[in-house]
Amino acid sequence: MQLNRIVAFHKTMGDPTRIRIVYLLSKGPLHGQAIAGKLGLTPPTITHHLHKLRDINLVYTRREKNTVYYYLNEKIILHQAVTLEKIISQKEELEEMEQDNAYRKKVLDAFIQTDGKLKSIPAQRKKKLIIFEHMVKGLKKGVKYEEKEINEYIKNFHDDFATIRREFITNQYMYRENGIYEVNPPEMWAKIE
């Protein structure tokens, strides 16, 4: 059972407008303007919410002439209800649980001293990336750094700044242009595992 799906479902349902839309659709399909009318909101707002509801598969659409009708996929709700029950009754394991944060913490504890310096650079790629992510978090996003500054920063963790700086680039944590460095957005970072 992936954490992401569960969170996405509940986050989507955690909005009064969307609950109202679901309620309306549970009585039968409706087109966008009808929903907007019934809720006193504008069509773009409804589009926005229907997008989110579609992202979690809770609604699907059927076109008829000029008009798009939205249908409720009730199975999703039943499924998610059951999911939560299983989770708390230990019938399902929650993925990304041990991995994500607890494992990450274990690695950080194992390789970082109390003064913040690295004991060593992990050889295992997975662990190495966790350490790198930790290090990169100390840099401001959107800020342009000189190579000297990056070196100085890395030295706070390890003497071999050259190797680590290079790894920052190859693993996409940072972007370099003309000797100027900048942190990449997290979605560009090397994937752990």
Partner DNA sequence: ATTAAAATTAGATGTATATCTAATTAGATA
Partner DNA sequence: TATCTAATTAGATATACATCTAATTTTAAT
Q: Can you read off the two tokens belonging to residue 86?
A: 């299983």
Q: Total number of residues binding DNA (CB under 7 A)?
A: 27
Q: Can residue 19 be called a binding residue for a second copy (CB under 8 A)?
A: yes
Q: How far apart are CA 108 and CA 112, in angstroms?
A: 6
Task: Name the one range near a second copy by CB under 8 A: 2-10, 44-52, 146-154, 158-166.
Answer: 2-10
Note whether 6 binds DNA by CB under 7 A: no
Binder among 15, 55, 147, 152 for a second copy (CB under 8 A): 15
Answer yes or no whether residue 89 interacts with a second copy by CB under 8 A: yes
* Phi-psi group of 37: left, alpha or beta (phi > 0 → left; psi -120 to 50 → alpha; rest → beta): alpha
- Strand-strand pairing, 180-183 and 174-177: antiparallel
**Among 6, 32, 77, 122, contact with DNA (rule: CB under 7 A):** 32
For a second copy, the closer CB: 67 or 101: 101
67 binds DNA (CB under 7 A): yes
CB of 144 to a second copy, least distance (A): 30
Minimum distance from residue 36 beta carbon to DNA (Å) = 7
31/165 with CB nearer DNA: 31
What is the tally of helices (H) and strands (E) in the chain?
9, 6
Identify the H or E element spanning 63.
strand 59-64
Query: Which of 3, 6, 13, 68 touches DNA (CB under 7 A)?
Result: 68
Nearest to 180 by CA among 139, 160, 150: 150
Pairwise CA distance, residues 54 & 65, whole Å: 21
